[in-house]
């Protein structure tokens, strides 16, 4: 990489990335203090390791010209499928799902996290070659099938949350690639209506006579996933079971008030009433201990981070760089909206972590790889003329 490219470095994007990483360590130092009694700082220390190694990954990917990945698109796509297939055949089951491949009893990876990066890289090149050819519904079929194959392998694990992330990536990249906004948008609305009707037919207890035949229409979801939808509509219906997560999260966030209860002074998190408060429900700890001010501050950091990502996409040197950036911004945006939404009770629980904040090695490495690719696009947004 030419050192003169460093002039293009988006320092504001870099600043807010580091602020979010610092926030992760601060929040985890209270959210995870009571998770492992024998080693209170275990998750903070491991998160620091994931962050430092993730920075190395980001730097390496930033140095590599992002256009190089186009030459390996089918190799990357094939490797992605093999990795996801390996989960099905060799993965370890936990909490009703098989999502991890363990190399030792304590060291493993979650391939679905990296699958998001692989699909962004390969789908971007796939769409570049179809620029100006996404005008009709039939033109959307092949791109959809391209994303559908790895998406179904992830759904099989089952991992509904990551499957939905793929949908968000697909939608964002298709629009930027030039898909007819009216026909593609109409197709999405139609799909959403069909899903809504299917859910209504499945859960409704009082269907009109002419629809009685569809009572309890089967859905391709696991029982626990269906229960999450039921509990989302009425958390109080099972306060000690599946509704426990949402109710504890709502109580934690609501009790924080304006300024919060104070660092390590929360009750739902510190007393372990709130499940998964160092991973999926870490935003609830922010609300309880740092209050409305803390949550708004964290969301502001995410907002600037995402806006700079959009800025990088708009200034990309070519369509491939713009599509990579769009896929990454779509991924981060969906993660943030869904995680904050589920912890606030306005979306069903899907097990999606808060990016750059929640504890987790695979997620952190995946996030940092995405940031590295964004920086690679950013560093090369203007051709050097001398």
Total number of residues shown for the chain: 386
282 in a structural domain: yes
Report if residue 237 sits inside a domain. Answer: yes
β pairing state of 92-94 and 108-109: unpaired
Q: Domain for residue 72, yes or no?
A: yes
Integer Cα distance of 357 and 17 in angstroms: 11
Largest CA distance in the chain: 76
Collect all residues with Cβ–Cβ distance below 8 Å to 372 and sequence separation of at least 6. Answer: 57, 58, 59, 60, 61, 62
Say if residues 326 and 315 touch (Cβ distance below 8 Å): no
Nearest C-alpha neighbor of 324 from the set 361, 368, 375: 375
In a domain, 90, yes or no: no
> Each residue's pLDDT tens digit in the chain (386 positions)?
666 677 889 999 999 999 999 999 999 999 999 888 888 899 999 999 999 999 999 999 999 999 999 999 999 999 999 999 999 888 876 666 678 888 777 778 899 999 999 999 999 999 999 988 999 999 999 999 999 999 999 998 888 889 999 999 999 999 999 999 999 999 999 999 988 887 777 777 676 665 656 666 677 777 667 677 767 776 766 666 667 888 899 999 999 999 999 999 888 988 888 888 899 999 999 999 999 999 999 999 999 999 999 999 999 999 999 999 999 999 999 999 999 999 998 888 888 999 999 999 999 999 999 999 999 999 988 654 43
Q: Distance (Å, rounded) from C-alpha 52 to C-alpha 54?
A: 5
Sort 316 into a burial class: Cβ within 10 Å, 0-12 / 13-18 / 19+.
buried
Count structural domains, the chain.
1
CA neighbours closer than 13 Å in the CB half-sphere of residue 112? 27
Whether residue 54 lies inside any domain: the answer is: yes
Closest CA to 1 of 57, 63, 59, 60: 63
Range of the domain at 257: 3-81+107-379
Task: Give domain status of residue 274, yes or no.
Answer: yes
Whether 100 is in a domain gets the answer: no
For 104, other C-beta atoms within 10 Å of its C-beta total 6
- Does residue 213 lie within any of the structural domains? yes
């Amino acid at each position: 990489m030419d050192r003169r490219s460093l002039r293009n470095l988006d320092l504001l994007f870099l600043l807010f990335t580091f602020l979010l990483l610092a926030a992760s360590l601060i929040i985890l130092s209270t959210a995870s203090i009571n998770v492992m009694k024998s080693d209170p700082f275990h998750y903070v220390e491991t998160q620091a390791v994931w962050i430092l190694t993730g920075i190395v990954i980001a730097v390496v990917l930033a140095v590599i010209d992002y256009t190089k990945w186009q030459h390996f698109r089918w190799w990357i796509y094939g490797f992605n499928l093999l990795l996801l297939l390996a989960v099905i055949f060799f993965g370890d089951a936990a909490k009703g799902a098989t999502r991890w491949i363990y190399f030792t009893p304590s060291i493993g990876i979650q391939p679905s996290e990296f699958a998001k990066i692989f699909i962004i890289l390969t789908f971007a090149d796939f769409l570049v070659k179809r620029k100006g050819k996404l005008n009709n519904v039939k033109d959307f079929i092949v791109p959809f099938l391209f994303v559908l194959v790895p998406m179904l392998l992830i759904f099989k694990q089952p991992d509904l949350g990551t499957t939905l992330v793929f949908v968000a990536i697909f939608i964002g990249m298709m629009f930027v690639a030039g898909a007819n906004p009216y026909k593609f948008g109409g197709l999405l609305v139609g799909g959403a209506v069909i899903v809504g009707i299917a859910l209504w037919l499945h859960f409704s207890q009082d269907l009109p006579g002419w629809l009685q035949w569809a009572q309890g229409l089967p859905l391709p979801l696991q029982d626990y996933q269906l229960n999450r939808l039921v509990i989302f509509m009425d958390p109080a219906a099972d306060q000690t079971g599946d509704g426990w997560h949402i109710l504890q999260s709502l109580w934690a966030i609501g009790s924080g008030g304006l300024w919060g209860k104070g660092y390590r002074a929360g009750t739902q998190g510190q007393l372990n009433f709130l499940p998964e408060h160092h991973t999926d429900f870490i935003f609830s700890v922010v609300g309880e201990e740092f209050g409305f001010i803390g949550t708004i501050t964290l969301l502001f950091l995410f907002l600037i981070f995402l806006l700079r990502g959009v800025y990088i996409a708009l200034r990309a040197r070519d369509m491939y760089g713009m599509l990579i950036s769009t896929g990454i911004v779509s991924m981060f945006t969906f993660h943030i909206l869904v995680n904050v939404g589920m912890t606030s009770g306005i979306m069903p629980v899907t097990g999606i972590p808060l990016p750059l904040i929640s504890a987790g090695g695979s997620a952190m490495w995946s996030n940092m790889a995405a940031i590295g690719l964004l920086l690679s696009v950013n560093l090369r947004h203007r051709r050097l003329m001398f």
